[in-house]
């Protein structure tokens, strides 16, 4: 009788300990096996949570506000609302973004919601560099584009990848230069949307590019898929931009999965309420 009771208690203890272990594991941070995000390579993170354009990364590359972008409730706490005519953020020169290099790896990503994706002009979410070397993310004619080029050193004339989007909907867009060299090679430039790889194209490393950088407009020169983009203070974005990040490492599926947590079935942390609203909107659409 005593042995049977002991075995029963032992079994219950094993079950209890197993449950405790599962609970502990559930709250431990998980790093996906394919994650490539290297915090030592962070160039800038602009969350806009405090209503400013301050960089929350260790680089402290604080942006300079142009116009009067409005601090509003976004998809991840606060976002900035840009009026499409005069609002933007100038990003200072940085060894990790434009005046250093060369850069064989790069990730630029942002959350955005465009008021009118069919507006008859380019609407720039992010740009760095100029007409010779650079990167750009913009909206035009119902699509979001990512572009990259390095038209000196080894003559990468550029690639512009795109995906269809709708007005007044939140998206997460990313561009990646992956393990590139000083020559044009296959599958070195990538576009990501909502955590999914959309397309790969030829590409190469990005060399130093002195023209100014910006969020929400072209500060000083870019290149679009139709060769437009020359000029300063042009092509302002109309809508919301949130959580802009720039890294000198090439993000993978796991990294984008973390950035797009709000799209998951069980959102966590600061994304919970706003992303639940977004999921409801997507279901209705």
- Confidence (pLDDT) at 206: 98
Alpha-carbon separation of residue 78 from 46, 93, 152, 191, 249 (angstroms): 11, 25, 39, 25, 26
- Confidence (pLDDT) at 281: 44
Residue 231: pLDDT band (50, 70, 90) is: very high
pLDDT in tens, 2-21: 444 445 555 555 455 555 54
Is the pLDDT at 278 greater than 50? The verdict is: no
Is the pLDDT at 178 greater than 70? The verdict is: yes
Average pLDDT, the chain: 86
Is the pLDDT at 203 greater than 50? The verdict is: yes
Share of the chain above pLDDT 70, in %: 79
Is the pLDDT at 34 greater than 70? The verdict is: no
The rounded distance, in Å, linking the Cα atoms of 222 and 65 is 20
Given a contact cutoff of 8 angstroms between Cβ atoms, the answer to whether 147 and 162 are in contact is no
Tokens of 7: 């075995």
Given a contact cutoff of 8 angstroms between Cβ atoms, the answer to whether 240 and 230 are in contact is no
pLDDT in tens, 46-88: 999 999 999 999 999 999 999 999 999 988 889 999 999 999 9
Given a contact cutoff of 8 angstroms between Cβ atoms, the answer to whether 169 and 282 are in contact is yes
The rounded distance, in Å, linking the Cα atoms of 233 and 85 is 10
Given a contact cutoff of 8 angstroms between Cβ atoms, the answer to whether 66 and 217 are in contact is yes
The rounded distance, in Å, linking the Cα atoms of 187 and 59 is 30
- Estimate to the nearest angstrom the gap between the alpha carbon of 221 and the chain centroid: 21
Is the pLDDT at 244 greater than 80? The verdict is: yes
Q: Which residue, among 138, 139, 136, 156, has the nearest Cα to 147 in the 3D structure?
A: 136
Residue 261: pLDDT band (50, 70, 90) is: confident
Is the pLDDT at 250 greater than 50? The verdict is: yes
């Amino acid at each position: 009788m005593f042995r049977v009771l002991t075995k029963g208690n032992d079994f219950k203890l094993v079950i209890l300990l197993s449950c405790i272990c599962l609970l502990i594991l559930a709250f431990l941070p998980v790093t996906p096996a394919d994650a490539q995000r290297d915090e030592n390579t962070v160039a800038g993170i602009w969350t806009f949570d405090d209503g400013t354009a301050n960089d929350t990364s260790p680089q402290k590359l604080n942006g300079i506000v142009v116009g009067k972008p409005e601090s509003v409730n976004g998809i991840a706490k606060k976002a900035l609302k840009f009026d499409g005519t005069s609002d933007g953020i100038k990003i200072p020169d940085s060894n990790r973004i434009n005046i250093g290099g060369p850069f064989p790896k790069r990730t630029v990503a942002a959350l955005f919601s465009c008021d009118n994706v069919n507006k008859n002009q380019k609407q720039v979410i992010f740009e760095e560099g100029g007409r010779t070397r650079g990167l750009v993310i913009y909206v035009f004619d119902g699509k979001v584009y990512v572009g990259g080029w390095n038209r000196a050193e080894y003559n990468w004339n550029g690639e512009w990848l795109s995906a269809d989007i709708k007005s007044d909907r939140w998206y997460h867009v990313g561009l990646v230069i992956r393990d590139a060299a000083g020559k044009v090679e296959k599958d070195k430039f990538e576009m990501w949307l909502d955590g999914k790889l959309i397309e790969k194209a030829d590409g190469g490393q990005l060399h130093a590019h002195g023209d100014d950088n910006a969020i929400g407009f072209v500060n000083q020169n870019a290149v679009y898929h139709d060769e437009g983009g020359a000029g300063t203070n042009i092509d302002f974005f109309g809508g919301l931009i949130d959580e802009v990040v720039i890294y000198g490492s090439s993000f993978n599926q796991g990294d984008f999965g973390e950035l797009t947590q709000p799209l998951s079935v069980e959102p966590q942390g600061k994304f919970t309420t706003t992303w639940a609203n977004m999921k409801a909107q997507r279901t209705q659409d």
